[in-house]
Chains A and B, each alone.
Chain A
Amino acid sequence: MRKLFLKSIKSSTRNKFSTYIMVIAFFSIAAILVEAGILGSLFKGLLVPMCYYIILAVSLNLTVGILGELSLGHAGFMCVGAYVGGVFSILTKDIITSALIRFPLALVVGGLAAGLFGILIGIPILRLKGDYLAIVTLAFGEIIKKLVQNIYIIKDVTGFHFSFATSIDTSTIDSESKQVILNGPMSISGIPKNANIVIGVILVLITLFVIMNLVDSRSGRAFMAIRDNRIVAEGIGINITKYKLIVFSFSAFFAGVAGSLFAHFSTVDPTKFDYNLSILILVFVVLGGIGNIRGSVIAAVILYALPELLRSFQNYRMLIYAIVLIVMMILNNNEKFLRFKERFTFKRLFAKKHAKEDA
């Protein structure tokens, strides 16, 4: 009976469900182990960052793996999301007192702002490909970082005070009602830390749901057609401009959501959103398998947790990390290993079990 049911649903659907189950299972087991005290507090602090790194990796995989365009500005979109989401939360703290309403709104607002930037940056770079696109997106990430480091906003009874590049003269500000919102390189402070593991996992699942369904639909086929052969895709009647912008905006939206989640979890330091972060996310995508959404999830979890868990090795930490990266790279391209992996897919495991039952 169960076998029939499994057969009747499409293999792509089954693939998606096993990814959702994998995420839920991993985080529930991890949370239980942390609660039970088996895993230390160090690991507990890694769970929410894992969530936003998964979201970042999956959304970047949409641009790099599915559309086939190399983007190095993902940290920039995350930065936009973190700042806009954070500022939104600070400003509405007194108006919307319930964190249950305010926090999801902050996530959406951060995502939308980043998505808007995705479209804005997408329009001029539509004609660029490959290295050139990578250069422009890289520059975008750096520009955003520098911009937010130079914005000062203070709120008092008289309203908002803005300044760019120079700090605001405090003598003009009513010190009673003064509320510093953005303080240049000192960044934002006072964002309510609403993020927790439950919201993180829900966001991961929403991201996976939206991106995997988008990829497995008419639009997703258009993305992949553009990736495989742009000229033919256009000759077959696909609107390249439209579908590229859809990808850029979705990818940026989720990076923004991840940024907003980050802002509500730890201190927002603008220097964090640099080139290294973009490359780190790209490493997750590449080692997880380009175009492989589930692979991005697994790679983000392992590669994020690893250097943290290796802290006890002290100076050898990054050495071991580098070796793991190299080994993963070799194994991912090794036919024998791939065949070995084939034998342990969900499908095969189920099939074996049923074969035994039937016998």
Chain B
Amino acid sequence: MALLEIKDLCISFGGLQAVQNFSISIEQNQLYGLIGPNGAGKTTVFNLLTGVYKPTSGSITLDGQGISGKSPMEINKSGIARTYQNIRLFSNMSVLDNVKVGLHNQIKYSAFSGIFRLPSYWKQEKLMNERALKLLKVFDLEHQSKNLSCNLPYGKQRKLEIVRALATNPKLLLLDEPAAGMNPNETAELMNTIKFIRDEFNIAILLIEHDMRLVSGICEQVAVLNFGSELTHGNTNEVLKDPRVITAYLGE
């Protein structure tokens, strides 16, 4: 059974049909690309998947469990985490604290034991530190763990956003233009990182990207959106050769 099943997803803002009849299914451990011209509704799909918007009609099923119409908090708990097109870190908090916020629902103790420093505080906080540092180490950020996150260079901020999303222990990770603003070297490194995340954390990844080298390099499947409706989806190489995709998005 597919991990994520989207069926006939529609949303309209007033008279504007932002997304209509969008259906894809993502398998466990799959790298899936979502491409299309600007304003096609890609980020809207992400917002629908994470509960920021409620779909007008259609269904979203994660691991056999219907999640459409639930709140962002509940959807995150059931296993979808995301990053944002324009980086949104908790900028006045340290790098380590950003990751620890991500671990909020993974390692718990009550506010009461936090105030009175009960044994559960020390135990869980130690566990949290270890887990957060381990995650940061995977992405080579552990030396900056005490810096404020807003002081990190751009590329590392992107990485930190991914680490924070991974800390919530998702089954599906949504990356919104992870390569935006990166040079070819950084993009090549990012491609390796994304593949590494998939293998190391054993999760499925759905990503929006305009850099076709990245998409053709790592995505196994691709869906193309144009004016809110799905143009086609399928195997990456076939989709990118599709004449309709070439006219609508890639150019001759």
Decide whether A and B are members of one complex.
yes
Residues of A within 8 A of B (CB): 209-210, 213-214, 217-222, 224-225, 227-229, 231-240, 246, 291
Pair A232/B104 contact, Cβ less than 8 Å:
no
Say whether chain A's binding surface is mostly helix, strand, loop, or mixed.
Answer: helix
In this assembly, does B241 line the interface, its C-beta being within 8 Å of a C-beta of chain A? no
Pair B100/A239 contact, Cβ less than 8 Å:
no
In this assembly, does B36 line the interface, its C-beta being within 8 Å of a C-beta of chain A? no
Pair A236/B91 contact, Cβ less than 8 Å:
no
Q: How far is the CB of B69 from chain A (nearest CB, A)?
A: 15
Task: Give complex CA distance A218, B124 in Å.
Answer: 10
Contact of B121 among A217, A225, A235 (CB under 8 A): A217
In this assembly, does B52 line the interface, its C-beta being within 8 Å of a C-beta of chain A? yes
Task: Give complex CA distance A246, B82 in Å.
Answer: 27
Task: Give complex CA distance A7, B111 in Å.
Answer: 27
Q: Which residues from chain A contact B51 at a C-beta distance below 8 Å?
A: 235
Question: Contacts A218-B104, A225-B101, A228-B90 given: A237-B77 contact, CB under 8 Å?
Answer: yes
Pair B115/A236 contact, Cβ less than 8 Å:
no
Q: Which residues from chain A contact B76 at a C-beta distance below 8 Å?
A: 235-237
Q: Which residues from chain B contact A218 at a C-beta distance below 8 Å?
A: 100, 104, 107-109, 111, 114, 124-125, 128
Task: Give complex CA distance A229, B88 in Å.
Answer: 7
Q: Which residues from chain B contact A238 at a C-beta distance below 8 Å?
A: 73, 101, 104
Q: Which residues from chain A contact B164 at a C-beta distance below 8 Å?
A: 236
Interface string of B109-153 (1 = CB under 8 A from A): 101001111000100110010000000000000000000000000
Task: Give complex CA distance A231, B84 in Å.
Answer: 11
Task: Give complex CA distance A225, B94 in Å.
Answer: 11
In this assembly, does B221 line the interface, its C-beta being within 8 Å of a C-beta of chain A? no
Which residue in chain A gives the minimum CB-CB distance to B124? A218
Pair B88/A221 contact, Cβ less than 8 Å:
no
Task: Give complex CA distance A19, B158 in Å.
Answer: 36
Which residue in chain B gives the minimum CB-CB distance to A13? B117
Contact of B100 among A214, A221, A246, A291 (CB under 8 A): A221
17 A–B contact pairs at CB < 8 A?
A: A217-B111, A218-B109, A218-B111, A221-B93, A221-B104, A224-B97, A225-B90, A228-B89, A228-B93, A229-B89, A231-B88, A233-B101, A235-B52, A235-B76, A236-B76, A237-B104, A237-B168
Q: Which residues from chain A contact B71 at a C-beta distance below 8 Å?
A: 234
Q: Which residues from chain A contact B92 at a C-beta distance below 8 Å?
A: 224, 227-228, 291
Within 8 A of A (CB), among B63-83: 71-73, 76-77, 81-82
Task: Give complex CA distance A214, B115 in Å.
Answer: 5
Q: Output the residue of A219, A224, A228, A246 with the most chain B CB within 10 A.
A: A228
Q: Which residues from chain B contact A291 at a C-beta distance below 8 Å?
A: 92
Sample of 6 more A-B contacts, CB < 8 Å, known A221-B93, A229-B90, A237-B104: A213-B115, A218-B124, A232-B90, A236-B81, A236-B165, A237-B105
Pair A236/B114 contact, Cβ less than 8 Å:
no
Q: Which residues from chain A contact B73 at a C-beta distance below 8 Å?
A: 234-235, 237-240
Q: How far is the CB of A237 from chain B (nearest CB, A)?
A: 4
In this assembly, does B226 line the interface, its C-beta being within 8 Å of a C-beta of chain A? no
Q: How far is the CB of A128 from chain B (nearest CB, A)?
A: 18
Pair A213/B104 contact, Cβ less than 8 Å:
no
In this assembly, does B50 line the interface, its C-beta being within 8 Å of a C-beta of chain A? yes
In this assembly, does B228 line the interface, its C-beta being within 8 Å of a C-beta of chain A? no
Question: Contacts A217-B111, A217-B115, A234-B72 given: A225-B93 contact, CB under 8 Å?
Answer: yes
In this assembly, does B41 line the interface, its C-beta being within 8 Å of a C-beta of chain A? no
Q: How far is the CB of B188 from chain A (nearest CB, A)?
A: 28
Q: How far is the CB of B60 from chain A (nearest CB, A)?
A: 15
Pair B72/A220 contact, Cβ less than 8 Å:
no
Pair B90/A220 contact, Cβ less than 8 Å:
no
Q: How far is the CB of B130 from chain A (nearest CB, A)?
A: 15
Which residue in chain A gives the minimum CB-CB distance to B100? A221
Q: Output the residue of A225, A233, A240 with the most chain B CB within 10 A.
A: A225
Contact of B104 among A222, A228, A229 (CB under 8 A): A222
